[in-house]
Chains A and B, each alone.
Chain A
Amino acid sequence: MDANSKTMLKGDHDMLLAKVYDDDDGEIELGLGLSIGGCGGLRKSEEDLMPCCSSSSSSDSVKIPKSKIVGTKRRVVESVSPPNATSVVGWPPIRRGHRMPILANQIKSEQEELSKINNRHLSVKVNMEGTPIGRKVDLYAHTSYEMLAQTLENMFYGTHNALGSSRLLNGTSDFVLTYEDKDGDCMLVGDVPWQMFLGSVKRLRILRNTNMQH
């Protein structure tokens, strides 16, 4: 727990990423095998972890929202965080600027969605349980839950849509469509009016039906 509290002390959102691995594995991955002069995951955990979510205080660095998944009251839903991840400073060696723009966009859209709801786009990440690659969908390009479900079915099941319409929504498929709202709670898609949904949705998750507890 030491490393945990250590990482949160700095109050730097980048440390949240460390939390992902702490909570998932119960301990920091120290599997590097080289305890040389201070290298290794634990010691470095107070510094920035991944180059793509690093911070230099002089820049408008990006805080990765992915880590918000862990540690909230969302045990009912499996997190998509991978196990056995390494947490080493500056590894893998990817320049910080490389992936920042997309994430910056996600953050900005939280702030701007209300005022720009008519002529902007709201891209949220969609993950399907069992599929490693996340996708993104522009919610403002849709006008209803039906339309969204169609898009998602096309995205994840391909063009030969054997599922029929909106089985994701009516609970008859093996999968169910959920979303993470502003508070980090996992909610069933379709319960609230569409516009209200747009105002609170942060990301979408398609989960196996057996996981949901109603």
Chain B
Amino acid sequence: MTDSGSTDPTRIPSLPEVFLKRTFSLINSTSDRNSLSLVCKDWYNYERLTRRHVSIRNCYAVTPEIVAARFPAIRSVSLKGKPRFSDFNLVPEDWGADIQPWLSVFVTAYPLLEELRLKRMSVCDDSLEFLAMNFDAFKALSMLSCDGFSTIGLEAIATHCKNLTELDIQENGVADVGGDWLSFFPENLTSLEVLNFANLGNEVSFDVLESLVSRSKSLRVLKVNQKVSLDQLRKLLVLAPQLTELGTGTFSGDLVSSSVNELESAFSKCGNLQTLSGFWDPSLLYIPALYPVCGGLTFLNLSYSVLGADELEQILTHCKLLTRLWVLDTVGDKGLEAVGSHCPLLEELRVYPDDPLDQQSGVSESGLVAVSNGCPKLHYILYFCQRMTNAAIVAVAQNCPNFTHFRLCIMKPHEPDYLTNEPMDEAFGAIVKTCVNLQRLSVSGLLTDLAFEYIGKYAKNLETLSVAFAGNSDAGMEYVMRGCPKLKRLEIRDCPFGDSALLSGLSQCESMRSLWMSACNLTMNGCKKLAQEKAMLNVEVIKDEDGDDSLANKVYVYRTVAGPRKDAPPFVVTL
């Protein structure tokens, strides 16, 4: 102990190191650990030596060497890379966020690494092979919205990870080059708990899949791709009735060797099922086979299914315990009324657009109001619609004052309240005034600076704000920069905010994780000024091929201890 035996009566005697380390190793919450590490130097040390999991929300905010130096005992890493707008093609290819530099450090620093969870990272097949071959204790790989790899990389994972418990490939840009990657799992691998290949395009050998499921007695999550037929799904269910989460694949077609009753019987044995997804092209005839498990469902993801209102209602009458529901807007306002009627425990609703360009279809304000009337526990909404009114959102805010995530996307830019023709300022004003716990907000529709004044004034817990096609002047952004103390991520596109707005948040910038601004009014000079003022920020401009060189069309600003990127491609200029 380094500070034993102090005679100062105001000092609390130190606890034994062994005791502290043992206690700290039981603490998993990152925020608790961050608090512990601030108490004193000893506690900082004990904490860092016992931390098992680290979440790096911006892979360029820190280097792998710095992480490894501070935390020597890490077994589980989460990494996020590209800015979120890369999901919508606003970030060019080869921007970065390569996983390999991290793996190269981890191979010596964390040879016992067990888990890797990646989001928006670039992962190539060689890196997957490197991972598989160099980390003997590796167990869990999860990739969401990553790109750069193909099924060849998955073959390597299957072949070499002898203790694999989790392989979770979600919504990535994966090149499915065929070959049967699933068959690379050795016969003696029985440890799988999570297998999600819903996103892959090609068929896998069903015999191999069947055998794998059959011998994986701990399997609790299975999400198959579209190539798995209904009959094959039935067989898998019979082999794995212990599943808690199921991705059904297409759920379409004729059952060849059995009937709806047999499918229903298979589902009825799955007493632990809580999450259902998939349903890419569901045959309505077989939906009733789900009814035995609907009563226990908490999360139903129908966001790939073209269903109408009546079809949705039929299903929902059986799903009384549902807390999370994702649907396509083909269900219409009528379908959402059914949601309001049948799902009183609903906490999260996402309504995705089936055909964003079809202005006659989809949902409107009445569907959202209906849900808010019937679901008072609603706190998370993602809603794509063609039109909306202020009055409706005011009503929604009153019905559901507990919103933590309010993401409204009126799909036509600059669309006003369609009844009054006024801007949508009052709608978002009502949300931020009423929902004091609001953490995440996405705004849309015709908005003036007033909307931002409301946000700056009331949204004191706001952490993430997404803005597009909104505002009148720099004042809008300034309200937010000055008014939202907890803001961590701000992403703005196509707004008339210029250099002075950018520079107005100088004090804010370092407490924020990142700022994205594209198609706004920024100039290179303004960005340079920001870079000069704040050394702890990386101010990166993504250059346009044919653009005015004095303008900064895409700007990404983030705090970092790593200095400027060393791997920046030629079109990324760090100021």
* A, B in one complex: yes
Is the beta-carbon distance between A32 and B413 smaller than 8 angstroms? yes
DSSP class of B's interface residues: helix, strand, loop or mixed? loop
Q: With both chains docked as a complex, state the minimum distance between the C-beta of A86 and any C-beta of chain B, in angstroms.
A: 6
Proximity bits, B540-564, A CB within 8 Å = 1, else 0: 0000100110011100000000000
Tell me, yes or no, whether B252 is within 8 Å of chain A by CB: yes
Q: With both chains docked as a complex, state the minimum distance between the C-beta of B91 and any C-beta of chain A, in angstroms.
A: 9
**Chain B stretch 49-94: residues in CB contact (< 8 A) with chain A:** 85, 87-90, 93
Binds B, one of A92-100, A160-168, A186-194: A92-100
Tell me, yes or no, whether A153 is within 8 Å of chain B by CB: no
In the complex, the chain B residue whose C-beta lies closest to that of A14 is B89
Is the beta-carbon distance between B254 and A105 smaller than 8 angstroms? no
Is the beta-carbon distance between A141 and B173 smaller than 8 angstroms? no
Complex-state Cα separation, A95 to B390, whole angstroms: 27
Is the beta-carbon distance between B89 and A47 smaller than 8 angstroms? yes
Tell me, yes or no, whether B478 is within 8 Å of chain A by CB: no
Chain A residues with Cβ below 8 Å from B199 are 97, 101
**Chain B stretch 174-189: residues in CB contact (< 8 A) with chain A:** 174-176
Whether A58 contacts B175 in the complex (CB less than 8 A), given A84-B359, A97-B145, A119-B256, comes out as: yes
Chain A residues with Cβ below 8 Å from B409 are 92-93
Specify which of B89, B93, B493, B518 is in contact with A58 (CB 8 Å cutoff).
Answer: B93
Proximity bits, B107-128, A CB within 8 Å = 1, else 0: 0000000000000000000000
Chain B residues with Cβ below 8 Å from A37 are 519-522, 547-548, 551-553
Chain B residues with Cβ below 8 Å from A102 are 280-281, 304
Complex-state Cα separation, A52 to B225, whole angstroms: 18
Is the beta-carbon distance between B254 and A58 smaller than 8 angstroms? no
How many residues in A have their beta carbons less than 8 Å from beta carbons of B? 55
Complex-state Cα separation, A36 to B522, whole angstroms: 9
Tell me, yes or no, whether B308 is within 8 Å of chain A by CB: yes
Tell me, yes or no, whether B171 is within 8 Å of chain A by CB: yes
Is the beta-carbon distance between A99 and B304 smaller than 8 angstroms? yes
Whether A36 contacts B361 in the complex (CB less than 8 A), given A92-B356, A98-B352, comes out as: no
In the complex, the chain A residue whose C-beta lies closest to that of B523 is A37
Q: With both chains docked as a complex, state the minimum distance between the C-beta of B153 and any C-beta of chain A, in angstroms.
A: 12
Tell me, yes or no, whether B414 is within 8 Å of chain A by CB: yes
Chain A residues with Cβ below 8 Å from B548 are 37-38
Complex-state Cα separation, A36 to B548, whole angstroms: 11
Specify which of A50, A58, A93 is in contact with B147 (CB 8 Å cutoff).
Answer: A58
Chain B residues with Cβ below 8 Å from A85 are 357, 359
Interface size class of B (residues with CB under 8 A): 35 or more
Complex-state Cα separation, A14 to B519, whole angstroms: 22
Tell me, yes or no, whether B411 is within 8 Å of chain A by CB: yes
Tell me, yes or no, whether A132 is within 8 Å of chain B by CB: yes
- Beyond contacts A51-B87, A88-B494, A93-B409: 16 other A-B pairs, Cβ-Cβ < 8 A, are A34-B494, A38-B548, A38-B551, A60-B176, A61-B173, A83-B359, A90-B90, A93-B87, A93-B468, A94-B356, A95-B88, A96-B89, A98-B303, A99-B354, A105-B280, A120-B253
Ranked 6 nearest A-B pairs via Cβ: A90-B88, A59-B173, A39-B519, A97-B171, A132-B361, A85-B357
Chain B residues with CB under 8 Å of chain A are 85, 87-90, 93, 145, 147-148, 170-176, 198-199, 201, 225-226, 250, 252-254, 256, 280-281, 283, 303-304, 306, 308, 330, 332, 352-361, 384, 409, 411-414, 466, 468-469, 493-496, 518-522, 544, 547-548, 551-553
A-B contact pairs, 27 of them (CB 8 A): A37-B520, A37-B521, A37-B553, A47-B89, A52-B356, A58-B175, A59-B147, A59-B173, A59-B175, A82-B359, A85-B357, A86-B357, A86-B412, A93-B468, A94-B384, A95-B87, A96-B89, A98-B303, A99-B354, A101-B201, A104-B201, A119-B256, A132-B358, A133-B306, A133-B332, A135-B306, A140-B254
